[in-house]
């Protein structure tokens, strides 16, 4: 007898939406990157001296999230690597994601690993580690590319010590040479840098502008052709994904996520093709993921603040003054056995929540009481609960 799971299995097997959904994942690097020809060429021009054994300039790459910085850099380095091998040039490429390796130690240990220099996981001082790296590197006549992707994460967490050392390393080398490629989507980040580091890191600068809707459409088309079964996707669906992502800020990752999730929803529903409604649902799902992720990674007091606004709205509806919110917040904080932040600080945190699109604030005039700021949550309560419930103490309030 067939049970409901048999039916589900059958349904899933019958419909086929994807040929290969991995092609839509963010870490897949296509062979062809439409609308990045200029950046590809500029980066290649900067790095190409390596094929004549000269040290290329350091490059600093910046642009908003999802504008192809990582994809282009990996693509160009890969091509240079292939060309270098053909010419018998000794080339090392260290690709470091600084959001993952966010300490000076880990960055240096990673560099040592790339050139097979053995170092302990922990225990050496940074200067000793650096000294060993320099020594091991200089045993050969070679050029090393050091890619520091999302380099802002390293600097914010651990300062610019390693960057400083690396931008000066060539003075200490006689045989080997090092070129650095720094990548960031945080345009204000260079303010954190020592001016000397800033200028040597930015010998060349490369800006990646956001994509517009038409460009995103081309990018999606190219990936969709390989990812979906023929007929499972229509130009209208691609257009819609591109339009939504362009309206946000021209983020190709976002556009690809929309398309992938829309496909997954269609598959789950047993549809034989993706339609616009699936894209709308995907948009909601992704928005929820975004909000939950943003709230989860917030400091504890910001979470308590969100909890406070949530609780007061549950009881009395939307739109309360900073003062009213502060009162609820203070009570909750005391319940947790903590000291409340000052009202001034909470007011700043409310502004931050506004910028992140979690609350909406407006100034209202209250006659002779003067003007005050009113805040309301603008994300669905289910998202708030989802984000906060992990903490058992907060969960008891929900």
Task: Find out whether 346 and 305 touch, Cβ atoms under 8 Å.
Answer: yes
Q: With 0-12 CB in 10 A as exposed, 13-18 as middle and 19+ as buried, what is 55?
A: middle
55 is in an annotated binding site: no
Q: What are phi and psi of 63, to 5 degrees?
A: 170, 165
Task: Find out whether 125 and 172 touch, Cβ atoms under 8 Å.
Answer: no
| Rounded Cα gap, residues 212 and 208, in angstroms | 12
Binding to ligand ATP (CB under 6 A) within 233-292 occurs at: 252-253, 256
Nearer to Mg ion, 68 or 202 (CB): 68
Nearer to ligand ATP, 69 or 278 (CB): 69
Report the nearest approach of ligand ATP to the CB of residue 97 (Å). 9
Q: Which of 92, 104, 185, 283 binds ligand ATP (CB under 6 A)?
A: 185
Binding to ligand ATP (CB under 6 A) within 13-32 occurs at: 26, 28-30
Report the nearest approach of ligand ATP to the CB of residue 33 (Å). 4
Take residue 293 and report the two structure tokens written for it. Answer: 């992720």
Binding mask 61-90 for ligand ATP (x = CB under 6 A): --x-xxxxxxx-------------------
Take residue 297 and report the two structure tokens written for it. Answer: 């990674």
Report the nearest approach of ligand ATP to the CB of residue 372 (Å). 38
Size of the site for Mg ion (CB under 5 A): 1
70 is in an annotated binding site: yes
Going by C-beta distance under 8 Å and a sequence separation of 6 or more, which residues neighbour residue 397?
307, 311, 332
Q: Can residue 35 be called a binding residue for ligand ATP (CB under 6 A)?
A: yes
Report the nearest approach of ligand ATP to the CB of residue 324 (Å). 38
Going by C-beta distance under 8 Å and a sequence separation of 6 or more, which residues neighbour residue 219?
34, 35, 211, 252, 255, 256
Q: Which of 39, 58, 67, 70 binds Mg ion (CB under 5 A)?
A: 70
Report the nearest approach of Mg ion to the CB of residue 148 (Å). 11
Binding mask 154-183 for ligand ATP (x = CB under 6 A): ------------------------------
* Contacted by 308, from ligand ATP, Mg ion, none: CB < 5 to 8 Å by type: none
Q: Can residue 39 be called a binding residue for Mg ion (CB under 5 A)?
A: no
Report the nearest approach of ligand ATP to the CB of residue 227 (Å). 12
Q: Which residue has the tokens 């948009």?
A: 283
| Rounded Cα gap, residues 398 and 389, in angstroms | 7
Nearer to ligand ATP, 211 or 326 (CB): 211
- Name the closest residue to ligand ATP (Cβ): 68
246 is in an annotated binding site: no
- Give the range of 50-58, 67-75, 257-265, 277-285 binding Mg ion by CB under 5 A: 67-75
User: Exposed e or buried b for every residue in 194-206, given b needs 16+ CB within 10 A?
Assistant: beebbebbbebeb
Report the nearest approach of Mg ion to the CB of residue 224 (Å). 22
Q: Can residue 33 be called a binding residue for ligand ATP (CB under 6 A)?
A: yes
184 is in an annotated binding site: no
Nearer to Mg ion, 70 or 308 (CB): 70
Report the nearest approach of ligand ATP to the CB of residue 198 (Å). 19
Q: What are phi and psi of 142, to 5 degrees?
A: -160, 170
Q: Can residue 34 be called a binding residue for ligand ATP (CB under 6 A)?
A: yes
Binding-site ranges for ligand ATP (CB under 6 A): 26, 28-30, 33-36, 63, 65-71, 185, 219, 252-253, 256
- Residue numbering of the annotated binding site: 67-71, 211, 223
């Amino acid at each position: 007898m067939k049970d409901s799971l048999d039916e589900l299995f059958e349904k899933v097997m019958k419909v086929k939406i994807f040929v290969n959904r991995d092609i839509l994942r963010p870490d897949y690097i296509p062979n062809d990157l439409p609308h990045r020809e200029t950046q590809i060429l500029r980066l290649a021009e900067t790095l190409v001296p390596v094929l004549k054994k000269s040290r290329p300039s350091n490059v600093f790459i910046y642009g908003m999230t999802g504008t192809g910085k990582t994809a282009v850099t990996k693509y160009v380095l890969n091509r240079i690597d292939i060309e270098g091998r053909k010419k018998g040039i000794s080339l090392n490429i260290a690709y470091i994601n600084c959001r993952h390796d966010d300490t000076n130690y880990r960055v240096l240990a990673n560099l040592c690993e790339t050139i097979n220099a053995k170092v302990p996981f922990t225990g050496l001082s940074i200067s000793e580690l650096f000294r060993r790296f320099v020594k091991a590197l200089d045993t050969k006549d070679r050029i090393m590319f050091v890619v520091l992707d999302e380099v802002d994460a390293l600097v914010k967490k651990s300062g610019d010590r390693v960057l400083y050392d690396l931008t000066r390393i060539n003075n200490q080398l006689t045989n080997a040479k090092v070129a650095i490629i720094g990548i960031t989507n945080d345009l204000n980040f260079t303010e954190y840098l020592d001016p000397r580091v800033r200028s040597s890191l930015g010998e060349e600068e490369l800006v990646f502008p956001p994509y517009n809707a038409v460009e995103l459409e081309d990018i999606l088309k190219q990936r969709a052709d390989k990812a979906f079964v023929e007929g499972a996707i229509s130009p209208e669906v691609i257009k819609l994904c591109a339009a939504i992502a362009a309206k946000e800020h021209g983020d190709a990752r976002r556009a690809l996520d929309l398309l992938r999730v829309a496909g997954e929803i269609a598959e789950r529903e047993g549809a034989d093709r993706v339609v616009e409604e699936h894209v709308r649902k995907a948009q909601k799902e992704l928005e929820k993921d975004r909000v939950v992720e943003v709230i989860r990674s917030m400091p504890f007091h910001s979470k308590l603040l969100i909890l406070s606004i949530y609780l007061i709205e549950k009881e009395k509806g939307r739109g309360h003054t900073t003062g009213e919110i502060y009162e609820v917040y203070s009570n909750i904080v005391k319940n947790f056995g903590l000291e409340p932040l000052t009202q001034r600080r909470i007011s700043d945190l409310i502004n931050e929540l506004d910028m992140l699109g979690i609350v909406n604030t407006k100034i209202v005039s209250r006659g002779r009481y003067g003007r005050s700021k009113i805040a309301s949550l603008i994300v669905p309560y289910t998202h708030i609960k989802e984000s906060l419930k992990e903490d058992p103490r907060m969960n008891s309030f929900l």
